[in-house]
């Protein structure tokens, strides 16, 4: 077999079955109890102690190795340069489709990593806060493309991450309301020099066009030290989105303040048809054009089955 043939068959990822991945936990301790696990689960996502033990504890062990290696490299380079600088935060990106369970993964990681010894400061930010306000999206004709790359205030998000990496104190991030489906005016989350920052969003692994003049054009993932992509087949994602929509119709949509309050009176058939239309018009297009193409850029890929349980794990080779 010649070199070109070998290259053709090269897989940049090591792929593990669920049982193989679970064995990599070794002696990593379980630091969450049943009550804590239940609070970390998103609507219609599945999370139990077994999932934490078999999927997230090995992830926690792997991340502890990566963070420790990065710290050693930092101190070695500092000695090489003969400078004294503050250690930069370690940033983890979490990407994937709408309804895939990104928020659950991000919250579980935050809870587990914050219990490492010594206790690091672990913050979590979602990119929803960097969406343009609805009024601006309406004027630009982008409401049907909310969640697409062009619907975000990318310069503000890049400036936020740059400030975090440079060690600035009390960096502010806008707050997004899923009830009103809009940015909350004059409300901010404050991130103050965390040891680890988790950044969750559908398009955090998105790249940009390469500049013709060779000048640097930063993208969000340039600031990541590690990234996770939550994956599932499209028909499964579609079903999860419909189920979530129906659950919200029976709960949050009944609040008069909800942006989707008009959907609360819909019958099951009407609500299902509405959810399918939204999925196909917006979420499926975003998945196919913008989200799924970024999957090969992730450090780690968690593949879920129809029951929300992770079936396999792919880890990028070093």
Q: How many domains does the chain have?
A: 1
Would you mind telling me the total number of residues written for the chain in this entry?
318
- Residue 204 pLDDT: 97
Contacts of residue 130, defined as CB under 8 A and 6 or more positions apart, other chains included, come to 152, 153, 154, 156, 157, 160, 173, 174
The answer to whether position 6 is within a domain reads: no
- Residue 7 pLDDT: 52
- Residue 3 pLDDT: 46
Is 97 known to sit in a ligand binding site? Answer: yes
The answer to whether position 262 is within a domain reads: yes
Answer positive or negative: Cα dihedral of 94, 100, 103, 105. negative
Is 67 known to sit in a ligand binding site? Answer: no
Q: What is the pTM of this model?
A: 0.93
Contact 85, 78 (CB under 8 A): yes
- Residue 1 pLDDT: 42
Q: Rounded to an integer, what distance in angstroms lies between the CA atom of residue 231 and that of residue 239?
A: 14
- Domain containing 83 equals 11-314
Is 101 known to sit in a ligand binding site? Answer: yes
Written as six digits, the tokens of 46 are: 């599945």
The answer to whether position 2 is within a domain reads: no
CATH of the domain at 92: 3.40.50.300
The answer to whether position 236 is within a domain reads: yes
Q: Reduced to 3 states, what is the DSSP secondary structure of residue 317?
A: coil
Q: What is the 3-state secondary structure (H, E, C) of 24-86?
A: CCCCCCCCCCHHHHHHHCCCCCCCCHHHHHHHHHHHHHHHHHHHHHHHHHHHHHHHHHCCCCC
CA atoms within 13 A on the CB side of 160: 23
The answer to whether position 1 is within a domain reads: no
Is 258 known to sit in a ligand binding site? Answer: no
Q: Rounded to an integer, what distance in angstroms lies between the CA atom of residue 59 and that of residue 65?
A: 10
Contacts of residue 114, defined as CB under 8 A and 6 or more positions apart, other chains included, come to 120, 121, 122
The answer to whether position 4 is within a domain reads: no
The answer to whether position 5 is within a domain reads: no
Written as six digits, the tokens of 147 are: 């969640």
Written as six digits, the tokens of 240 are: 């999860």
The answer to whether position 169 is within a domain reads: yes
Q: Is the peptide bond before 118 cis (omega within 30 degrees of 0)?
A: yes
Walk along the chain (318 residues) and give the pLDDT tens digit of each residue: 444 555 567 899 999 999 999 999 998 989 998 899 989 987 777 899 999 999 999 999 999 999 999 989 998 998 999 988 777 899 999 999 999 999 999 999 999 999 998 889 999 999 999 999 999 999 999 999 999 999 999 999 999 999 999 999 999 999 999 999 999 999 999 999 999 999 999 999 998 776 777 677 689 999 999 999 999 999 999 999 999 999 999 999 999 999 999 999 999 999 999 999 999 999 999 999 999 999 999 999 999 999 999 999 999 999
Is 102 known to sit in a ligand binding site? Answer: yes
As to burial, measured by CB atoms within 10 angstroms (0-12 exposed, 13-18 middle, 19+ buried), residue 80 is exposed
Dihedral angle, C-alpha 21, 92, 127, 254, nearest 10 °: 40
Is 100 known to sit in a ligand binding site? Answer: yes
């Amino acid at each position: 077999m010649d070199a070109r043939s070998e290259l053709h068959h090269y897989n940049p990822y090591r792929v593990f079955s669920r049982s193989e991945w679970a064995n990599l936990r070794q002696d990593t301790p379980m630091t969450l109890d049943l009550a804590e696990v239940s609070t970390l689960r998103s609507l219609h996502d599945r999370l139990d102690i077994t999932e934490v033990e078999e999927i997230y504890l090995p992830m926690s062990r792997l991340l502890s190795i990566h963070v420790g290696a990065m710290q050693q490299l930092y101190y070695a380079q500092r000695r090489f340069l003969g400078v004294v600088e503050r250690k930069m935060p370690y940033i983890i990106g979490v990407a994937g489709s709408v309804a895939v369970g990104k928020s659950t993964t991000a919250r579980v990681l935050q809870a587990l990593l914050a219990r490492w010894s010594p206790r690091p400061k672990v913050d979590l930010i979602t990119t929803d806060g960097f969406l343009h306000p609805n009024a601006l999206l309406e004027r630009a004709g982008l409401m049907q493309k909310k969640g697409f790359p062009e619907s975000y205030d990318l310069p503000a998000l890049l400036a936020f991450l740059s400030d975090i990496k440079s060690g600035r104190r009390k960096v502010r991030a806008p707050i997004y309301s899923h009830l009103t489906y809009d940015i909350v005016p004059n409300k901010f989350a404050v991130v103050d020099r965390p040891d680890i920052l988790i950044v969750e969003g559908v398009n955090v692994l998105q790249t940009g066009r390469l500049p013709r003049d060779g000048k640097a054009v930063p993208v969000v993932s340039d600031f990541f030290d590690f990234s996770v992509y939550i994956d599932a087949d499209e028909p499964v994602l579609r079903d999860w989105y419909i189920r979530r929509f129906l659950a919200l119709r029976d709960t949050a949509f009944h609040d008069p303040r909800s942006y989707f309050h008009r959907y609360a009176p819909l019958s099951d058939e009407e609500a299902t048809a509405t959810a399918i239309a939204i999925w196909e018009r917006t979420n499926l297009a975003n998945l196919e054009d913008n989200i799924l193409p970024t999957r090969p850029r992730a450090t780690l890929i968690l593949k879920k089955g129809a029951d929300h349980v992770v079936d396999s794990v792919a880890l990028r080779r070093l």
